[in-house]
């Protein structure tokens, strides 16, 4: 049985990155692409987000179906065109998927206007750009024509990145508003504004890899394996008791090696241990061996400190009324925090 088609564009395609989520309301016998709703000329979000399809009421959607049933798509020549050029003097109408294939640009901002190939926004090559050299898409790395067109976009900041339109749209769908940026120069603000102007939809949500269930579960696992030259544990190297001779101590410097107390000849109450690799460059307690050939250098200045990442108190976006957030720099060799900045 074939999947149901969208009530607005009649297409059965289900590609959330290119057409938006395909929502089915079984009680109302209705299936529709989210982007088809956003770009349609005669339907608006009059309900709450929990009502209908993200605020598009079912009665309004059915009224838009009746309105568009009289309009012919200038691309496929079939009825049901619901996306029109925003220029008042232009009468071109298309289905949303037909518009993508025929060069329409739909901007996902403010009133969600769409523009036909005659009135759509264009990009221009930067002065000094060498378009004769072979180019490749900075997302998929496939070869790309060095000519700006509907299907080929450029970053406005670095002028050295080229993208397939569909690749940028898929990148935006995956990265979301807070991680979407140029893959070469890492510019965010200019890049996002330009891609919005050129018809890329940037969802206002966290990146897809942030939303996966148990995405960071591996970070909660600690190393529990005996790497001693000769392990004497009867249960093997993978055995890690909670206490006693066969509890696994991890290297206090690198944390990537471990040993049973018994296997390395440690005392029963030993709590610190350094693996042989780290012990070669330190005294085993985290202190580098001081170079006595330079008596003017105090040994305390040679203390080895593991780099500490900058700590942020929250990674969530907050409205202006929420508590202020502060950004702390890592402490220096004396344990002093040198920089504290207010994050808005």
| Token pair 């900058």 in the structure block, residue | 310
The kind and range of the H/E element at 97 are helix 96-102
Give me the pLDDT at residue 282, please.
76
| Residuewise pLDDT in 10s, the chain (344 residues) | 678 899 999 999 999 999 999 999 999 999 999 999 999 999 999 999 889 999 999 999 999 999 999 999 999 999 999 999 999 999 999 999 999 999 999 999 989 999 999 999 999 876 556 666 678 999 999 998 878 899 999 999 887 789 999 999 999 999 999 999 999 999 999 999 999 999 999 999 989 888 877 777 777 788 899 999 899 999 999 999 988 999 999 998 988 899 999 999 999 999 899 998 898 877 655 555 444 444 433 433 333 344 444 433 333 334 444 444 444 455 555 554 555 554 44
Which residues make beta-bridge pairs with 152?
149, 164
How is residue 62 written in tokens? 């059915």
Nearest to 137 by CA among 172, 171, 170, 161: 161
Q: Which domains does the chain have, with CATH numbers?
A: 16-115 (3.30.40.10), 135-211 (no CATH), 223-306 (3.30.40.10), 308-344 (no CATH)
Give me the pLDDT at residue 128, please.
55
Query: Cα 233 to the chain's mean position, in Å?
Result: 45
Contacts of 76 (CB under 8 A, 6+ apart): 95, 98
């Amino acid at each position: 049985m074939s999947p149901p088609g969208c009530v607005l564009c009649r297409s059965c395609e289900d590609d959330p990155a290119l057409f938006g989520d395909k929502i089915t309301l079984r009680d109302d016998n209705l299936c529709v692409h989210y982007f088809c709703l956003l770009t349609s000329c005669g339907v608006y979000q009059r309900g709450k987000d929990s009502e209908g399809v993200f605020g598009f009421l079912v009665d309004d959607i059915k009224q838009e179906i009746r309105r568009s049933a009289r309009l012919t798509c200038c691309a496929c020549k079939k009825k049901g065109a619901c996306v029109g050029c925003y220029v008042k003097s232009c009468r071109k109408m298309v289905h949303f998927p037909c518009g993508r294939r025929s060069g329409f640009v739909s901007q996902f901002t403010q009133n969600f206007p769409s523009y036909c190939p005659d009135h759509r926004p264009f990009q221009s090559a930067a002065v000094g750009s060498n378009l004769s050299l072979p180019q490749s898409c900075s997302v998929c790395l496939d070869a790309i024509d060095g000519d700006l067109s509907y299907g080929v976009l450029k970053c406005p900041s670095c002028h050295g990145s080229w993208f397939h339109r569909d690749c940028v749209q898929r990148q935006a769908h995956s990265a979301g508003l807070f991680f979407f940026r140029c893959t070469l120069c890492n510019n965010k603000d200019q890049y996002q504004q330009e891609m919005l102007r050129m018809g890329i939809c940037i969802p206002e949500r966290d990146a897809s890899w942030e939303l996966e269930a148990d995405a960071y579960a591996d970070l909660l696992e600690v190393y529990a394996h005996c790497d001693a030259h000769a392990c004497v544990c009867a249960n093997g190297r993978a055995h890690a008791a909670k206490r006693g001779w066969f509890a696994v101590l991890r290297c206090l410097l690198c944390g990537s090696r471990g040993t049973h107390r018994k296997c390395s000849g440690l005392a029963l109450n030993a709590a610190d241990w350094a693996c042989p690799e780290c012990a070669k460059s330190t005294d085993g307690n985290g202190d580098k061996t001081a170079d006595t050939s330079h008596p003017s250098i105090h040994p305390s200045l040679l203390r080895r400190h593991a780099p500490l990442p900058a700590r942020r108190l929250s990674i969530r976006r907050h409205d202006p009324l929420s508590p202020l957030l502060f950004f702390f720099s890592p402490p220096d060799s004396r344990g002093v925090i040198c920089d504290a900045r207010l994050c808005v």
